[in-house]
């Protein structure tokens, strides 16, 4: 009698939550996840914005739509099918509709006939999902220990996972680690991302149930995304939202500090030696937005350290993955693995 063999575990699933209206490295990180998806090294299981901003959600929707992939992790029914394609945004008050995030001009680009180049399907709050619920639902659809969360923005939405029913055991079972692109280590200046919601950041580092790896601004500065890649590596696409967002972020040419890219690369390939890791310890968020690392063998926190000897190797991965064309859609007969 034929017996089905054990299920093959798919590549690690990444739930990405970022400040996609203000941080160009968060936009680049979504592109990087597309590159890893194309190489079947990872899957983007959910995408959410870190602020209650419809403009930011629209930017994220345009970028996600360009890559056409499966932003949610399942297509065979159940939790994954319900939330597939949804974009997360933290709720708890009216969504900001008149805000002007740094990258908002990306949506204002016009074609030769005056029509918008980029159009988002999100026109109101109903077009988004509560980010904590979205992430929780997609985590539940993963094999145990085969997911990670990458946060590249305020902790506003991600920290709310801790308040969902039975979230602690669920996060611990499904999520290998949380990688946070914020702070400065071992200690440094106040961080704008932390300052955007200090209370949420304090709670996140104090109560999160899995290991946390932080990627500070010093790593982003040491390993910036090369602006020259924007000019030469995207020639295959005459119109590209990541290219337009990069140009909108600041006057060209510039190399963009990119802690979010380091966070994604580490989340996907934690054991491949792209970075050094600090000893174990505890990260504390101070009232002025600074982060402080206290070494201690019992701590669940570490931070990444850029290795100057590996800079060219890491940047080569950055440019190859970020500039990759959209990953092909999985065939309907193969889309169910989560």
pTM of the shown model: 0.91
Query: Residue 150: enclosing H or E segment and its boundaries?
Result: strand 147-152
What secondary structure does DSSP assign to 89-101, as a single string?
Answer: E--SSPPBSS---
d(CA 317, CA 311) in angstroms, rounded, equals 10
CB 43 within 8 A of CB 13: yes
Q: Note the pLDDT of residue 39.
A: 95
Yes or no: say if 149 and 135 are a contact pair by the CB < 8 Å rule.
yes
Task: Print burial letters for 293-330: b (CB count within 10 Å at least 16), e (below 16).
Answer: beeeeebbbbbbbbeeeeeeebbebbbebbbbebbeeb
* pLDDT, tens digit, 9 for 90 and up, residues 219-268: 999 999 999 999 999 999 999 999 999 999 999 999 999 999 999 999 99
The distance from CA 130 to its chain's CA centroid, rounded to whole angstroms, is 16
pLDDT at residue 7, rounded to an integer: 64
Domains and CATH numbers, the chain: 12-326 (3.90.245.10)
Task: Quote the pLDDT of residue 100.
Answer: 83
List all residues 6 or more positions away from 212 whose beta carbon is below 8 Å from its beta carbon. 177, 178, 179, 180, 204, 205, 283, 300, 301, 302
């Amino acid at each position: 009698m034929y017996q089905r063999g054990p299920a093959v575990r798919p590549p690690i699933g990444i739930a990405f939550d970022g400040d996609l209206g203000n941080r160009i490295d968060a936009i680049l990180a979504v592109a990087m996840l597309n590159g890893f998806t194309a190489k079947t090294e990872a899957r983007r299981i959910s995408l959410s914005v870190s602020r209650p901003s419809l403009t930011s959600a629209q930017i994220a929707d345009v970028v996600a739509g360009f890559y056409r992939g499966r932003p949610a992790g399942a297509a065979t029914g159940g939790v994954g099918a319900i939330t597939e394609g949804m974009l997360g945004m933290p709720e708890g008050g009216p969504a900001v509709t008149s805000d002007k995030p740094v990258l908002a001009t990306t949506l204002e680009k016009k074609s030769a006939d005056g029509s918008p180049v980029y159009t988002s399907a999100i026109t109101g709050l109903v077009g988004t999902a509560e980010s904590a619920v979205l992430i929780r639902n997609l985590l539940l659809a993963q094999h145990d220990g085969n997911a990670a969360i990458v946060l590249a923005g305020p902790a506003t939405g991600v920290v709310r996972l801790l308040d969902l029913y039975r979230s602690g055991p669920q996060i611990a079972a499904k999520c290998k680690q949380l990688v946070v692109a914020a702070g400065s280590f071992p200690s440094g200046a106040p961080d704008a991302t932390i300052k955007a919601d200090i209370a949420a950041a304090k709670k996140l580092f104090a109560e999160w149930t899995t290991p946390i790896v932080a990627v500070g601004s010093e790593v982003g500065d040491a390993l910036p995304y090369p602006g020259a890649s924007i000019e030469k590596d995207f020639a295959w696409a005459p119109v590209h939202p990541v290219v337009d967002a990069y140009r909108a972020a600041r006057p060209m040419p510039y190399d963009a500090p990119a802690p979010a890219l380091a966070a994604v690369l580490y989340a996907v390939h934690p054991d491949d030696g792209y970075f050094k890791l600090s000893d174990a310890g505890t990260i504390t968020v101070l009232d002025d937005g600074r982060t402080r690392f206290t070494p201690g063998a019992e701590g669940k926190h570490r931070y990444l350290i850029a290795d100057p000897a590996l800079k060219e190797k890491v940047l080569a991965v950055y440019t190859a993955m970020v500039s990759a064309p959209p990953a092909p859609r999985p065939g309907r007969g193969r889309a169910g693995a989560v």
